[in-house]
A and B are shown apart, each in its own frame.
Chain A
Amino acid sequence: MSDPAYSNVVTEHFDRPRNVGVLATAPDVISGRAGSREQGTEFRLTARVAEDRIVEARFQVFGCPHCVAAGSILTDTLVGKDLAFLRTWSWRELASQLELPTTKRGRFLILEDAVRAMADDWARRF
């Protein structure tokens, strides 16, 4: 049974999200967090960095199916990316890819905040 509220991509990543979890704290692990349960959306991102590139990433999210799918796709995308990518990443392309309803844009801005927080953590550590 399909649900008109969610695209096939959202459904696929919601049902089988990639990279769920958190990387244990370590010198080469960066993290970023934004939002809150009270707001209805909270993201936590962690990634391992080696030779100025992300080599693996994980996410956790308290949020709607679009947010789960966003965390799944983003963490796949992050592998191989550098600090500059995190600094300039925008929610818009992912929103378009996932056919995000305009009423949910604020939730992806929270994800963007988490990405920026991770960039700041990277800049502080390396």
Chain B
Amino acid sequence: MTQPCIYLDYAASTPVDPRVAEAMIECLKAADTHGNPSSMGHEFGRKARALVEKARAQVANAIGAQPQAIVWTSGATESNNLALFGAAQLHADKGRHIVSSKTEHKAVLDPLKQLERQGFTVTYLKPQSNGIVAPEQVAEALRPDTVLVSLMHVNNEIGVIQDVGAVGRLCRERGILFHVDAAQSIGKVDVDVEAMHIDLLSMTAHKVYGPKGIGALYVRRNPPLALRPLLFGGGQEGGLRSGTLPTHQIVGMGAAFALAAAEREADTARLRVLRERLWRGIQEVGQVDLNGDPEQRVANVLNVSFHGVEGESLQFALRELAVSTGAACSSGSDEGSYVLRALGRNDQLAQSSLRFSLGRFTTEADIDAAIAAVQREVPRLREIAKLSS
């Protein structure tokens, strides 16, 4: 096959925006920014520190936070680990019960499993069939010994938006810490940590047209929230995350978040039109189900189950499209996605599901080519798999 592959996997990772790359390259090339941002005793360190602090303000601004509440990490996985272990372990004297959901990212579920091995109890809420966890479900799960609630803002597989504002309010009323994995929401939906009563918020740059390998954790400052660090060493980031700060990566994340904040409305309006075009085109093959709530979801994600086709064949037949499959998140196993199964899809339908995720550089021509591929290949595979009696 010689045709180029069309990238529709922005929820997995995004290309670096050229404007972000430019800012990073400028930082790497500059003759006077290579100092250690912690070396405040000389100009090189101070210049690097100024770049880091500018980026910190850009990230903070994107989520309605104060800059001093931002802690740099290596990405959302580390942010989630720092939030969950850091909060649960330090506050274990108040209780050892945590509430989360079955459809969280593995970077939340696996730390929670580890905390269970350490004696914590975790309630995993099952979302409704539309993928939404009702705030009432969270309220009902809370116990006197609940210390932490962790809920993702936007689901990575189906794109549904959880009502984190409502959950945050009820956690705040009860004095329970609230962590939000916002890896998929920056630049897609409004995030305001103050208004949403969020205590801890995980972010990453590479889903927002920034570089891989850099992320951040928002840690509430008012009143200050103490965490137990994961890494010990030079005591950077107020002792919460030791390690020399990667200036150019941080500059990239800052630039990416500034663009995300500035261009969110225009981006989402454009992507919603393209996604609807894609959905209309896909529906023409018939016998397809949209996974996740049709309204309460981000503009760029479309997760579809195709009846009557086998998942692996579907993926291979559409190999000119770079998309994620229902089985992709379970690392090569034939089990369907745990997110789709939590929504009540059977294994076969979960496997025959594709996540199309659009982004800043997706064009109408990309969408039309994707529609053409689906309309060509799905009926062909259904013909092979018809097995009429």
Contact = CB atoms under 8 A, between A and B. Distances in A.
Contacts of A17: 384
Interface in A29-51: 33, 37-38, 40-42, 44
Contact of B319 (A3, A21, A42, A68): A3
Contact of B316 (A14, A44, A62, A71): A14
B387 interface: yes
Contacts of B385: 60-63
Contacts, number: 54
A63 B319 contact: no
A17 B386 CA distance: 14
B388 A22 contact: yes
A1 B316 CA distance: 11
A68 to B, nearest CB: 6
Contacts of B1: 1-2
A11 B99 CA distance: 46
Given A14-B316, A63-B310, A1 B384 contact: no
Given A20-B383, A37-B348, A42-B387, A6 B334 contact: no
Interface secondary structure of B, over-half rule: loop
B384 A40 contact: no
Contact of A20 (B5, B351, B384): B384
A31 to B, nearest CB: 11
B312 interface: yes
Nearest to B1: A1
A65 B316 contact: yes
Contacts of B114: none
Contacts of B317: 14
Contact of A60 (B2, B3, B351, B387): B387
Contacts of A37: 348
B1 to A, nearest CB: 5
B316 A40 contact: no
A71 B347 CA distance: 24
Given A22-B388, A68-B384, A38 B348 contact: yes
Given A60-B385, A63-B310, A64-B310, A3 B348 contact: no
A14 B313 contact: yes
Nearest to A21: B383
Nearest to B386: A60
Contacts of B267: none
Interface in B326-378: 334, 347-348, 351
A6 B316 contact: yes
A40 B386 contact: no
Contacts of A44: 387
Contacts of A62: 310, 385, 387
Contact of A65 (B3, B312, B351, B388): B312
Contacts of A3: 316, 319
Contacts of B192: none
Contacts of B5: 1
Which of A17, A40, A42, A62 is most buried by chain B, counting CB atoms within 10 A of its CB?
Answer: A62
Interface in A52-111: 60-65, 68, 71
Interface in B292-317: 310, 312-313, 316-317
Contacts of A38: 347-348
B9 interface: no
Contacts of B334: 40
B320 interface: yes
Contacts of A21: 383
21 contacts: A1-B1, A1-B319, A1-B320, A2-B1, A3-B316, A3-B319, A6-B316, A20-B383, A22-B386, A33-B387, A38-B347, A38-B348, A40-B334, A40-B348, A60-B384, A61-B385, A62-B310, A62-B387, A64-B310, A65-B313, A65-B316
Give the 7 A-B CB pairs with smallest separation, nearest first: A62-B385, A64-B312, A65-B316, A60-B387, A44-B387, A1-B1, A20-B384
Given A14-B317, A64-B312, 11 more contacts: A14-B313, A17-B384, A40-B334, A40-B351, A44-B387, A60-B387, A61-B384, A62-B385, A64-B310, A64-B313, A68-B384
